[in-house]
Amino acid sequence: MGQYTAPLRDMQFVLHELLQVADTLKQLPKHAEIDADIINQVLEEGGKFTSEVLFPLNHSGDREGCHHDQATHAVTTPKGYKEAYRQYIDAGWPALSCDPEYGGQGLPIVLNNSFYEMMNSANQAWTMYPGLSHGAYECLLEHGTPEQKALYLPKLVSGEWTGTMCLTEAHCGTDLGLLRSKAIPNDAQADGSYKITGSKIFISAGEHDVAPNILHLVLARLPDAPQGSKGISLFLVPKFLPNADGTLGVRNPIACGAIEEKMGIHGNATCQMNLDGATGWIIGEPHKGLNAMFVFMNAARLGVGMQGLGLTEVAYQNALVYAKDRIQMRSLSGVKAPDKPADPIIVHPDVRRMLLTAKAYAEGGRAFCSYVALQIDRELNHPDQEVRKEAADQVALLTPIVKAFITDNAWISTSECLQVYGGHGYIAEWGMEQYVRDARINMIYEGTNTIQSLDLLGRKILLDNGAKLRKFGAQVQAFVEANGTDEALSEFITPLADLGDKVTKLTMEIGMKAFQNPDEVGAAAVPYLRVVGHMVYAYFFAQMAKIALEKQGSGDSFYTAKLATARFYFARLLPETAMLIRQARSGSASLMALEADLF
């Protein structure tokens, strides 16, 4: 149902013209040989795989869903999922950006990021199976022992085994300090293992049949653990305990008790996992499990942003095709299709508004995500320690915006694209309502968007007195100063500069209020994140508009469209910041005045 074509031209524009990725990679010894041709070849092959293998399973997988056998605890994925996964690992896709020491191809994160956008457009539910494995790989790579790395990383890199993260319990979601799962040292063994008991919920890909083994990364408490989040340790709990040679051994007592009946992503098994003395090994240091798990969580947060971007793109593509084909009424300014009884609905201004909203949020999100992924490559691989630190600060600042702003925009965009279809959008056979349902979870998991907003304002900005934000702001200001006298760019530069000034003043105002009343941070955080998100998008759209203006004489209609999209963004979407700033400044009084029993 529907269609998907990887947006290769726009990806190439972002990577080669906007970010000039190949030049940055030349500064990184690990990736110095990666050029535009290699990048384009990988993107083209990724586009074929996602459109030809994954996308045809998206609608059918949603309708069929996963099935749980209560007697055996086994979960069956929708028809075609296992076969697609086999093609995925046979082609080497899991290894794309992994370390060659463990069988990886060693390609940059920024390229892997673009591939994941394609996969999420084609089939978000399916993509969650290998997507979580990559987070488990990164966590073990950074915090695992040499023995753990040698045994488990090659299996994750090849895709032969998959991974999960088991955090949430029924009584605690984000507040992980409340978790109750216990880990007891296994004195009967000399391998340093633990017996882990507890229950976890909402575990994506917690049980399935696409791979023979699953590596669960589980948060639990040791017997001497202090209360709260400082008493949490991280454990590696395989579904099957591996033998020394990597073959599968005995079944570990960690099992799926049920799968959730949920609003969307039906093709992915969201599991209730029960651990009954399951054998596990600690990852990292005792009581510092959150530090280790944050590697996984931050990777997941960036991945969830890519899920939002992928859904925005595929919803836009299908709504555009429909709008060009569907005829309804005549244009207000006169007949546009005299050979037909009515005009295609794309002639109507508000249909164009809906399409352009999705188009702008997709193109802005693509530029933003690719930029952040490139900063991760710099953070991990640049030879200069100061450059690595600068890149790490940017990634820390921008990660909550990637997660929250892009997924908020995906909810807006998929809803608008469904609206383009009118009543047909609400009907399952057209496929649009699935994108809306799938998009909604992305605003919730891996830390709700409110949590991301609190993280941005409270931890990433106010905690260091705005140092990280000022560094990014200086980058924006440098662009403004370099191009401020270009009259052709004034329609983009002026509002960008104005918003930058307003963000600075708003940040200072909230910070001063927070000294008197911490609730001011909670009251302002959500609109504040959207304001900063718009500043980031405005910065990238201004850069893209500059390139489009320079090249519009080439005759390539791509640049004409890019310029028009940038103008739409500044005219129609950026003005939302005026309302958001007023909301953020309005304070906590109107939110906290009403006593709880009066609601």
Catalytic residues: 446
Rounded Cα–Cα distance for residues 397 and 531 (Å): 14
In the chain, the amino acid numbered 150 is A
Dihedral of the alpha carbons of 221, 227, 231, 232, in degrees to the nearest 10: 50
* 163 close to 217: Cβ distance less than 8 angstroms: yes
Rounded to whole angstroms, the Cα distance separating 25 from 292 reads: 28
Structure tokens belonging to residue 72: 């055996």
Given the structure tokens 């959500």, which residue do they identify? Answer: 526
Distance CA 544, CA 563 (A): 8
Tokens of 167: 């955090």
Residues in the chain, overall count = 599
Under a CB-based contact definition with an 8 Å cutoff, are residues 204 and 270 in contact?
A: yes
The CA-based angle 366-371-377, given to 5 degrees, is 130
Q: Can you read off the two tokens belonging to residue 423?
A: 């009543």
DSSP annotation string for 287-334: TBHHHHHHHHHHHHHHHHHHHHHHHHHHHHHHHHHHHHH-B-S--TTS
Long-range contact list for 420-429, CB < 8 A, 24+ apart?
Answer: 420/319, 420/322, 420/323, 420/345, 420/351, 420/354, 420/355, 421/319, 421/322, 421/326, 422/328, 424/322, 428/63, 429/1
Interatomic CA distance for residues 108 and 19, integer angstroms: 14
The per-residue b/e assignment along 490-517, b for 16 or more CB within 10 angstroms, e otherwise, is: eebbebbbebbeebeebbebbbebbeee
Q: Which residue has the tokens 């994160």?
A: 109
Question: What is the H or E stretch that residue 184 is in?
Answer: strand 182-185
**Helix or strand (DSSP H, E) at 214:** strand 213-220
Q: Give the pair of three-digit tokens for residue 282.
A: 């600690």
Structure token pair of residue 156: 């994750």
Report the distance separating Cα 214 and Cα 164, nearest Å: 7
Which tokens go with 537?
């998008």
Q: How far apart are the first and last CA of the chain?
A: 45
Q: How is residue 240 annotated by DSSP? A: E
Nearest partner of 541 among 495, 481, 591, judged by Cα:
495
Q: For residues 37 and 566, is the Cβ–Cβ distance under 8 A?
A: no
Dihedral, CA atoms, 537, 540, 545, 550, nearest 10 degrees? Answer: 180
Closest among 410, 421, 348, 352 to 572, alpha carbons compared: 352
* Interatomic CA distance for residues 300 and 14, integer angstroms: 23
Site of tokens 């630190």: 389
Query: The tokens 């990886």 sit on which residue?
Result: 104
